Amino acid sequence: MEDILDAKLNLSYLDYKVSKYDYFQGCPTMLTSEKAALAKVSQIYYEYKQHATPGQPISKYIDKDFGP
């Protein structure tokens, strides 16, 4: 049991899989842990970067639930 907990604690945010249990009161951009928040913001950033046109600035992210 301790091995499972240690593995979770030592998991990088890059490998962390955000689930509905990480959401604060069901809001998908308000998270209950730092690791989940880093994983989510990394996901959002790379999605925006992937769709950006080369040479153009990346558009501002507007969170519909929490604000800009």
Bridge partners, residue 12, by sequence = none
pLDDT in tens, 9-60: 678 888 888 999 999 999 888 999 999 999 999 998 888 888 878 887 777 7
Q: How far apart are CA 44 and CA 38, in angstroms?
A: 10
Q: What are phi and psi of 24, to 5 degrees?
A: -85, 115
Q: How far apart are CA 3 and CA 14, in angstroms?
A: 20
Residue keyed to tokens 């913001």: 41
pTM over 0.75: no
pLDDT in tens, 13-22: 888 889 999 9
Bridge partners, residue 67, by sequence = 63
